[in-house]
Structure formats: structure tokens, C-alpha cells
Amino acid sequence: MSVYPSFDFAPYAQLLRTLMPRARGIYLYAPDADLIWSADGADLQDLRPVVLELLESARDSASIAGTREVLEDMPAYGFVLRDERSGVLGVLAIVCRSGGRDAELPAFEAVERLLAPLLTVARRDLAQQRVLDTGRFNVEDTQELQWLFDMSQAEVPAGAGDSLQLLMDAFAARAGCDVALLHVPTRRLERVAPRCILQPTELDTLRGLVSRHLLRVAQLQQKTLIVNKVRDTGSGALVPFRILCVPLIRRGQVLGVAVAFNRSDSRPFEAREARMLERLTPRLHEVIDTCFDSTTGLLTRHAFDERVASQLLRAPQDGRWLVHADINDLRATNELYGFNAGDSVLRGIADIWRNQELPGESITARLGSDSFVALLDTPSLEAALAWTESVRMAVSTLALAEPLAGVRVSLSYGLAPIGPGSTPEHSLASAESACSIAKESGRNHVEVYAASDARPAERQREQRLYRALLAAIEKGALALHAQSLTPLWDASRPDRYELLARLPGEEGQTIAAEQFIAIADRHQLTARLDEWVLGEALRRLEPVAAVLERRGVVFSLNLSGQSLRQPGLVERIQKGLQAYRVSPALLSFEISEPTIVANMDAARTVIDALRAIGCHCSIDDFGTGANSLATLNSLRVTALKIDGAFVRELATDHRAEAMVRGIVQVARQLGLDTVAECVGSHAAANQLGALGVTYGQGNALAAPQPFADALAAAVYKASPLLTEAVTRAALPPDTALH
């Protein structure tokens, strides 16, 4: 039997080509040097000897990481993929196009650093696939009873993830069926284990057959069903699959079905496969009852705790966030409308928590009677807030059926970090504490945990900042600053600035947005803040817009998730541009990647509309999302702003350099500018410039300054005679833009 028979390397190869545009051939070899997968479907005759030699060296020494060779003037790189115990999983080989006779050949270490994130994920996924393909589930046909015993006693290996999926995958592999599918509608559970390539329409057909027909037949007959004869209409089979269906029965009620499918040209199902699936159902029942809540289908508290412990054991240094949420007034709903109505509220909320796109290996669970919890696999507070806010908005607009039609549902949310030095119990208690504060301060919003000894002072400070911010917005008393973006390798680039709101302090100082933006977001003020920045910028730009446009100057403004969700946003922007006679080309709108991911449809619509009227658009904090490349591929942006976490770690973490290099290469292929924020030194700026980053932003290069000063400097470079006009523009702000 071949190693990793169902492993598909295509997604990795797609990312690899973005990181190494010169890659000509990509090949994945098994530990015995057999070719598992290739990008062009054919092996290179001269590559196998190199792989054999590399594998032999790797078995002799665990320190061997790979090799670099030259085959017919083409550089070739081989990377040894190992598991956690240094066992060889295989070899990834890459052949690159020749860069010419005098081209410098990249060192193996440089290419390894570039591909480090991809290699890490490939190693992990290959190790998991090996458990499924060659683990204890892969026994000989004559050992059926042993396999059934193993299934009844099986525990999920640390980090293996979903126990139901593992069981269905193991059954599909052991029974040799084309597809295995578990459908338990009472728990909102579905697991699909394909062993052949399925078209989306085929999978939809099978799902519809199971949910609309097989489940009904199972409920009526309550016995195993085998259908080997495929009905043919003359123009083709109605459903070109043989069927084996086993009901999951509990106390005389059919909870769901476990179904195996074989294509019509595959072998028929026999009593052996039926017996295997029937004897597997008690184990499926056990896992479902133990791990999945009976009302919502989310993980139970016990299963959630085990998954959290497994993740922390596997990657203890990774930062994560815990979200704890309580339903507001669920008891009143139960008392007024009955417990069945309360259960429908729970199921509606659970569907939102389940379906909202989660970063990385995040998990959600029902914690108690009216509580939910999520472990968010991201170190970014911004990403955690974006996900929680998207859930909050979705729950707030949840439409319920009679008798609850028109009833508004809401939760209160608490966020707390969980990372090195913290325990799940303490972090969950912190999230519960933050949730309680969210309830006390008005409900239906998100509260981030702060240490208990500093909490009273922090709450008083937040209250002062909120009142000051609200008053400043209403009176137009905010200050507008600008920070210049410095070209890192091409001084002829046009000037660019980011516009920043500042809150006047009590003693004449200004308070940066970083100190009040979270408060503005929690109290639904960020849309009004965005509106003020836009209106003030247009008012100041009006007398000098034409000359700045000729020089290609661009001013960037931030758009929050609250602004994205407002109807008519782009129409108001366009009216403002026309009213102040400002060219759209002068403005660029920045939207953070977590905000885009949390509001994908709205973000895509707004970006398309802004680009249509002539404005620029960019993605802020790029690289923090779980699907950055997919996000980028679907949006018409003009620039990427690299998240500051990568920039700050550039000098100490080679993985950060690899990420920056990869982002630059992707941006270059798509014709996009790149901006590195949080540049802390000129040495970092030089390193970023060498990597090809277009602009740098940070206090080491240029500190924020009042917008009037930045505007005067920009105009003076274009036309010194217009400086007086800029001074005249610095008048008391008029009413906000409408």
C-alpha cells in the first residue's frame, strides 16, 4: 500500500509558487523515494538519485535538513520533512528556472527561511495523514474483530482534533468505500470522509439524498439498508452511487444515519461492510453523547476542556484568546414562552457561533445553560475583537420564528488572553469576569479583561475617555494629525500620509487613537469618528487639492467595521468629494484584515464601489488573518500594510522575515504597493527596503504631526505660493460631513 494515498499537496504548491515565482517543478516524495505528488504530473529523471541520497543521509543524521543541487543549470532544493520525533515523513523537492549564467544561486538556508511557515504546516499535516493511513486503523482484512475492538476503545491522539471525523475517516479507509457520511440533524452534526475526488455538485447530491430520503427511510424502517442496484433512466443514473445506510437509534428514536457510498463502477456493498458500520455506531453514539451538547450540537464543557488542553500541550508558547458570553434574559424567555422557545434561541445562537469563520484551529462550545465559550487561535487582540464583534452583530439581528418573532436576542461578551504562564481555568475565570462587567455596563457589548487590582481605575479612566470622546465628536473638537510614509528604496515615489485622529487632553496634550479606539468601538462611536476624519480632511484639502493631485500625493483614512456596515457609505463619500471639489485619487481608505474577514461581503462591496469612483484602497494589518491569500485574491485593493508584529520581530525571528518577504512577492506579482508599519529604527528600514517593501511608517522615520503642518509641507514641495492658502484653510471645523 502506498504511503499517504489521499494526501493532496496542491494547496501548499499554490502558496509555494507565490513565495518562489521561479519554481518550475514541485515534487513530494515518500520516505522510500516513491513520488507521491507532483505539480506537473511527471517526475524528473535526474531528481530521484538526489532524493535517494538525501534520504540516506537524513536517516543517518537527524541534523540533515536538506540540500541544494544544480541539474542542467537549474537549481534544485530538497527539504527533509520530519515528525516531532525526527522521523522522516518524506522529501519536498523544488526545481527552479535558471536565472542565467551570472545569476547568484540562493543559498539553501535562505530558501529554507523563506518557506519555513509552509514547511511547518506540511510536516504537521503529513504526520496527521500518516496516523490515518498507516496507524492502528490500517489492519489486514482478516483482523476485522480487532479493528472493531480498536474502534470501540479508540481515543483521539493529542492534536488529532475531531474524534467523529477520525472515526469516519478510519471506517472509510478500512471498508474501502468511496465516501462515508455521518448525518445527525438533532445535534447539527455532519462529517464527510471522501476517499475519491468529489465534484461539489456530487457532494450536494449525496447530502440531499441523506437528509431528504435516507434519513426518512431509516426513521420508518429502523434497520440497515443496502442498495447496490443503481437506477438508470436511460439518460444516466439518478444517483450513480451504491448505498449502505445504518441508522443511529436511541430509545426507539432515529437520531441520524451513518452512510457509505460507492460509485456505480465500484464493488457492491456486502454484509462485511454493513457489520462493520453497525458495530461502529455504539462508538459514534458514545462520542456524540460525550462531546456534543444535545440542544445546540456545540462541544460540551468536557470536550472543550480536552481540546484546549491538547492545543496548549502541542503549542504552549502560542498566544490565544478566550471568549465567554452569557445570554441576556434567557430565564425571562423560558418563563414567558416556555423551554422549547428557549431551546430555539440557544440553537439559533449556536448556529451563529458555529458558522462564523474562525481563525486557525479555534473551537466553540456551550459552557452552561445560558453560556457559550470560544478559544480563538490567534494572538491578535484586534482579530479576537473582530470575530467577537461579528458574532455580536449577527446575534443582535437574529430572526426567530413564532412565538418569538420580533424578540431581540443579545449576549454580553468577555475576552481574556491565554498564553504562556496562564492556565485555562484562570483565563476562563478572567473572561467570565469581563463578561460580568459587560453586563454591568449596559449589556450587548464586548469587554476585554483587565487585571482585578487595576480594574476600578481602568473603568474610571475609560468612563472619562468615553465622555471626552463623545463631547469632542459632537463639538468637532478633535484634532487631526498626519504621519508621513517614507519611501524605502525609491525616493521618487509620491508623498503619502496616514490621517490620525487625536483627542485633546485635559492639560493641553493630545491622546493618540490607540488609547481610545477600543472605547469608541465598544460604544458604537467609530463610524462617527471615521465621518469626522473624512469631513475634516476634505475641508482642509479643498483649496490645494488640484496641485497635490498633480504630484500624486495620497492621504490614507481608516474605515472601521461599523462604517462598512452603514448603508450609503460610498454615496456619502462621493457627495463629500464633489462638494469640496477634491479628486478621489487623493484618498486611500484603509480597512484592517480582521475587519474585512468579519465583514467580507460588505467590505468587498465598499472596496469595489470606492475603486469605481477613483479612490485607492488598502488592507491594514495584512498577514494576521487565517486566510490572507484568499482574502487578497477577492479584493480590488491597491496596497498592503504589513502587520506591525512582523516588522517588530524582523531582526530576531527569521519566520517574520519570511512572512514579510512572502507578502512583498505576492504584492509585487499583483502590482500592489507595500507599507511596513511600526518601523522602530533606520536599521529596520534598511532591512525592509532590501526586502522590497515600498514604504515605511514609524516614529523612527517620521513622527505624527498636526495635519496643517503636514499639508503645508506637502504643498510647499509642489508650489510655495500656495502655502498661504493652506494657512487660510486652517479655520474652525464646520459641521460633519453628511
* Model confidence pLDDT, tens digit, residues 343-363: 899 999 999 998 888 888 899
* Domain coordinates in residue numbering, the chain: 10-133, 138-291, 315-449, 461-729
C-alpha cell at 647: 516588522
Amino acid 1: pLDDT = 43
* Model confidence pLDDT, tens digit, residues 495-544: 999 999 999 887 667 887 877 887 887 777 889 999 999 999 999 999 99
Amino acid 121: pLDDT = 81
Lowest mean pLDDT among 75-89, 146-160, 201-215, 373-387: 146-160
Per-residue buried b or exposed e for 27-38, using 16+ beta carbons within 10 Å of the residue's own CB: bbbbbebebbbb
Per DSSP, the three-state class of 37 is strand
What are the beta bridge partners of residue 706?
481
Asked if 363 and 345 touch (Cβ cutoff 8 Å), the reply is no
Give the C-alpha separation, 355 to 689, whole Å.
41
Among 29-33, 37-41, 161-165, 481-485, the range of highest mean pLDDT? 481-485
Amino acid 235: pLDDT = 52
Tell me, yes or no, if the two domains 10-133 and 138-291 fold the same way. yes
Arch. (CATH architecture) of 138-291: 2-Layer Sandwich (3.30)
When pLDDT is averaged across residues 175-202 and rounded to a whole number, the result is 90
* Global model pTM greater than 0.95: no
C-alpha cell at 636: 480590488
When pLDDT is averaged across residues 234-255 and rounded to a whole number, the result is 82
Give the C-alpha separation, 385 to 40, whole Å.
42
The sign of the dihedral angle between the CA atoms of 16, 17, 18, 20 is positive
pLDDT reading at 2 higher than 70: no
Q: What pairing do the DSSP bridges indicate for beta strands 225-227 and 616-622?
A: unpaired
Give the C-alpha separation, 555 to 480, whole Å.
12
pLDDT reading at 623 higher than 90: no
Per-residue buried b or exposed e for 629-641, using 16+ beta carbons within 10 Å of the residue's own CB: eebbeebebbbbb
Instruction: Tell me which amino acid residue 448 is.
Output: V
CATH of 315-449, one of 3.30.465.10, 3.30.70.270, 3.40.50.2300, 3.40.190.10: 3.30.70.270
Question: Does residue 543 have a cis peptide bond before it, meaning omega lies within 30 degrees of 0?
Answer: no
Give the C-alpha separation, 379 to 518, whole Å.
17
- DSSP letters of 275-299? HHHHHHHHHHHHHHHHHB-TTT-SB
Q: Which among 587, 598, 604 has a CA at the least distance from the CA of 624?
A: 598
C-alpha cell at 98: 535558471
Distance of CA 553 to the CA centre of its chain: 33
Rama region for 4: left / alpha / beta (φ>0; ψ in -120 to 50; rest): left
Q: Which among 614, 612, 564 has a CA at the least distance from the CA of 591?
A: 564
Q: Around 506, how many Cα atoms within 13 Å sit in the side-chain half-sphere?
A: 5
Indicate the DSSP class of residue 485.
E
Other Cβ atoms within 10 Å of 59 Cβ, number: 13
* Model confidence pLDDT, tens digit, residues 373-382: 999 999 989 8
Interacting residues of 82 by C-beta distance below 8 A, sequence separation 6+: 58, 62, 88, 89, 123
Asked if 185 and 215 touch (Cβ cutoff 8 Å), the reply is yes
Domain 461-729 has CATH 3.40.50.300: no
Q: Kindly indicate the confidence band of residue 576, based on its pLDDT and cuts at 50, 70 and 90.
A: very high
Give the C-alpha separation, 282 to 149, whole Å.
12
Which CATH code for domain 10-133? Answer: 3.30.450.30
* Model confidence pLDDT, tens digit, residues 260-292: 999 988 889 988 888 889 888 888 888 888 889
* Model confidence pLDDT, tens digit, residues 662-689: 899 989 988 999 999 999 999 999 999 9
